[in-house]
Amino acid sequence: ILMAISFIVEQYMGGAKSPAFIFLNNAGNMAFAFMVPVLAAYIAEAIGDRPALMPGFVGGFMATVYGGSFGGAYTANVMADAKSAAGFLGGIAAGFIAGYLMVGLKKLCAHLPKSVEGMKPMLIYPVLGLLFIALIMYFIINPIFSTINI
């Protein structure tokens, strides 16, 4: 809504150089920048509970960043000339992957000794979740979805 208001301000109150337009447009753009990471985080949290929230958010953020894949703009895909981020579809994929990744990590860690029980939510889940979602997004999801998202 702020972006719509900014265009009204631009049209009727001073043009694109108006401080009111610049402020409202920037605030709207910043809010839109959070949409994909937050969507991915809550998809992941719905599937993998609270430990999946952070890997989902990071995966969603990686989906919105141009050059967040192997070799920057995915050098192995030079012929397709993929010059975009993975975007909305990549964020949805990141959410599902992060959620099911945490479900798998919980099952793998279920048989650890009781002495390590306290480390799971504070160290094992966040570090391994972040590592795996970053690897998956960087090498697999972002290159594929950046090609689709041209």
Q: What is the pLDDT of residues 29-46, one digit of tens each?
A: 998 889 999 999 999 999
Q: Are 123 and 56 in contact (CB under 8 A)?
A: no
Q: What's the structural domain count of the chain?
A: 2
**What pTM value is reported for the model?**
0.83
Does 93 lie in the same domain as 69? Answer: yes
Residues 93 and 135 in one domain: yes
Q: Both tokens of residue 77?
A: 């895909």
Q: What is the 3-state composition of the chain as percent helix, strand, coil, each rounded to the nearest 5?
A: 75, 0, 20
pLDDT of residue 120: 93
pLDDT top residue among 86 and 95: 95
How high is the pLDDT of residue 17?
82
Chain CA centroid to CA 41, Å: 8
143 vs 82: CA distance, rounded Å: 8
Confidence of residue 100 (pLDDT cuts 50, 70, 90): very high
Same domain, 81 and 47: yes
Both 16 and 48 in one domain: the answer is: no
Q: Which residue has the higher pLDDT, 145 or 53?
A: 53
